[in-house]
A and B are shown apart, each in its own frame.
Chain A
């Protein structure tokens, strides 16, 4: 499973990245987290506000600094995107 956090370096973006890294640590398994701060790369995704959370190239949250529990829930809900397993 492949997770991306999109955020051009604002405080909320850092928070979401931290929460995501924590969430992944807790879940374990084969999950990669990438923190994308380059605005031109961010703009390749159809997001208007950041931070955004992308799971297997699907945008699952926009504009919110989610808590760890919320990230875990989103990861579990989207686990079967493209048949990847946690």
Chain B
């Protein structure tokens, strides 16, 4: 009975800590930015570089970074992956997108950096982008013989940006919001306040009431979708912290051995994480002695793969390609973690 109470208590303490001020100040602005990205940024502008006629180099480059703009939610990642694979730039850019997208959306970057430290947060983003290109190129090379079978419908049917703001207006709008995020997170209240007023003026001058409503609706959607699962994740992380003896973690994924990196990326590829919950779980493991390298390996392989999403990917590109992809992701995450462990040691 006592053990049970200890576990619940561990979960509860973790929960309270997460509801603290510094977490909220970073997460709330990030949620607003995610909402704004979904509503105001023209997805068509990005997607046209992933169509069947796109140049290969551009396609890889865009695929590896476009998750920032396109993919905050699983509604977009898998259908987009399928479209890029079947009708767009092909298997290479498609898998590059699939690998990097969950790691580089604005919420994941901000949240990882805030909770796990800036080095790990930045390493996660850079590692995801660089190694997604490697994964994509290798997939394209391995399966170079079977390509083609494309129609251009989906990408031809992209709407032009109908209610779009001018590019410089979008730039200013997002720059101001990122500024608010950065300065409030670092407790520079005065600059943060000035930027908030600026944002209010921007909204008043450039945006219609309907657009602002749409933005709030989208933000509320993210809040409802992400926060409850995140709290569940935090609670479980707190329980794990009490339940798993430190020696187990130190032995298996402590330090920065290749084996530790491999174990952590392999486990990550099987486990399912709801959006962002990989972060508190990794934090717990690190508290218990997980090395920085294996932590990064888990952050990379975790959200990119899980048993359920392997099944979906398999239905899109078949068993052979899916297995190859899984193996590549595990290897790449292992290597990335290992390199990062060496650098940060």
Interface residues, chain A, CB within 8 Å of chain B?
7-8, 10-13, 38-40, 42-43, 46-51, 59, 63, 65
Chain B positions 147-178 with a Cβ under 8 Å from a chain A Cβ: 153-158
CB atoms of B157 and A8 under 8 A apart? no
Q: Which residues of A contact B78 (CB under 8 A)?
A: 8, 39
CB atoms of A46 and B221 under 8 A apart? no
Chain B positions 21-76 with a Cβ under 8 Å from a chain A Cβ: 43, 47, 70, 73-76
Say yes or no: is B337 at the interface (Cβ < 8 Å to chain A): no
CB atoms of B75 and A46 under 8 A apart? no
Q: Which of A10, A38, A48, A63 contacts B74 (CB 8 A)?
A: A10
Tell me the bound Cα distance from A7 to B73 in angstroms: 13
**Given contacts A10-B74, A43-B86, A43-B316, are A48 and B79 in contact (CB under 8 A)?**
yes
CB atoms of B80 and A49 under 8 A apart? yes
Q: 25 A-B Cβ contacts within 8 A?
A: A8-B74, A8-B75, A8-B79, A8-B312, A10-B73, A10-B74, A13-B75, A38-B315, A40-B315, A42-B79, A42-B82, A43-B82, A43-B83, A43-B86, A43-B87, A46-B156, A47-B79, A48-B43, A48-B79, A48-B155, A49-B43, A49-B70, A49-B79, A50-B75, A63-B76
**Given contacts A49-B80, A50-B75, A65-B221, are A39 and B153 in contact (CB under 8 A)?**
no
Q: Which residues of B contact A46 (CB under 8 A)?
A: 87, 153-154, 156-157
Task: Closest B residue to A9 by CB, please name it.
Answer: B74
Say yes or no: is B144 at the interface (Cβ < 8 Å to chain A): no
Task: Closest A residue to B153 by CB, please name it.
Answer: A46
Q: Which of B75, B76, B79, B158 contacts A43 (CB 8 A)?
A: B79
A4–chain B nearest beta-carbon distance, Å: 14
By secondary structure, the B interface counts as helix
Task: Closest A residue to B47 by CB, please name it.
Answer: A48
B45–chain A nearest beta-carbon distance, Å: 13
CB atoms of B157 and A10 under 8 A apart? no
CB atoms of A39 and B221 under 8 A apart? no
Chain B positions 79-102 with a Cβ under 8 Å from a chain A Cβ: 79-80, 82-83, 86-87
CB atoms of A39 and B315 under 8 A apart? yes
Count, chain B residues at interface, CB 8 A: 25
Tell me the bound Cα distance from A10 to B79 in angstroms: 11
Task: Closest A residue to B154 by CB, please name it.
Answer: A46
Tell me the bound Cα distance from A48 to B74 in angstroms: 12
Tell me the bound Cα distance from A11 to B73 in angstroms: 9
Q: Which residues of B contact A8 (CB under 8 A)?
A: 74-75, 78-79, 312
Task: Closest B residue to A44 by CB, please name it.
Answer: B86
A8-B75, A10-B75 provided; 18 other pairs, C-beta below 8 A? A8-B74, A8-B78, A8-B79, A8-B312, A10-B74, A11-B73, A11-B221, A11-B225, A46-B87, A47-B154, A48-B43, A48-B47, A48-B155, A49-B80, A50-B75, A63-B75, A63-B76, A65-B221
Chain B positions 258-308 with a Cβ under 8 Å from a chain A Cβ: none
Task: Closest B residue to A8 by CB, please name it.
Answer: B78
Tell me the bound Cα distance from A35 to B316 in angstroms: 19
Tell me the bound Cα distance from A7 to B78 in angstroms: 10
A58–chain B nearest beta-carbon distance, Å: 11
CB atoms of B315 and A48 under 8 A apart? no
CB atoms of B75 and A49 under 8 A apart? yes
Q: Which residues of A contact B312 (CB under 8 A)?
A: 8, 39
Q: Which residues of B contact A42 (CB under 8 A)?
A: 79, 82
